[in-house]
Amino acid sequence: MGMGTKAARAAAMGAMALTMALAAAGCGGAPSAGGAAEYGPGEPPLMSASHQGRYESLGMAGCYGCHGANEATDHMLAAAPALPADHYVDGDVATFEVFGPRGECITCHPQG
């Protein structure tokens, strides 16, 4: 087995592990009979319809600009819910740095 094949296999296994971990953490909400999503404790909300294509065009920065915490953003001014502390490195908002896998916003917050 070549070095490239081993690296590809390791990357695929890592991606699979991340997907399973996020699913176990409660990503997504189940739609109710009326079509609105219902969420249990700790489950993330869907992105609103007004955010259509925002993540695809801007990436994490498009989310962080309103929901993040740093000197250049103000989630209170934007009336957007702030990212919870567990989304930041070491669970500390003061780092202003989103923890690696938490930067893939649409994994847990798909378009509603």
Collect contacts of 60-67 with beta carbons under 8 A, ≥24 apart.
60/98, 60/103, 60/104, 60/105, 63/105, 64/98
Domain residue ranges of the chain, discontinuous segments joined by +: 6-107
- Rounded to whole angstroms, the Cα distance separating 99 from 85 reads 10
Please state, as a whole number, how many other Cβ atoms lie within 10 Å of the Cβ of residue 12.
Answer: 10
Please state, as a whole number, how many other Cβ atoms lie within 10 Å of the Cβ of residue 81.
Answer: 10
Low-confidence ranges of the chain (pLDDT < 50): 1, 18-36
CA angle in degrees (0–180, nearest 5) for 29-35-37: 20
Is there a contact between 86 and 4 (Cβ–Cβ < 8 Å)? Answer: no
pTM of the model: 0.57
Per the DSSP assignment, residues forming a β-bridge with 73 are: 70
- pLDDT digit string (tens) for 36-49? 456 667 778 888 88
- Rounded to whole angstroms, the Cα distance separating 25 from 109 reads 13
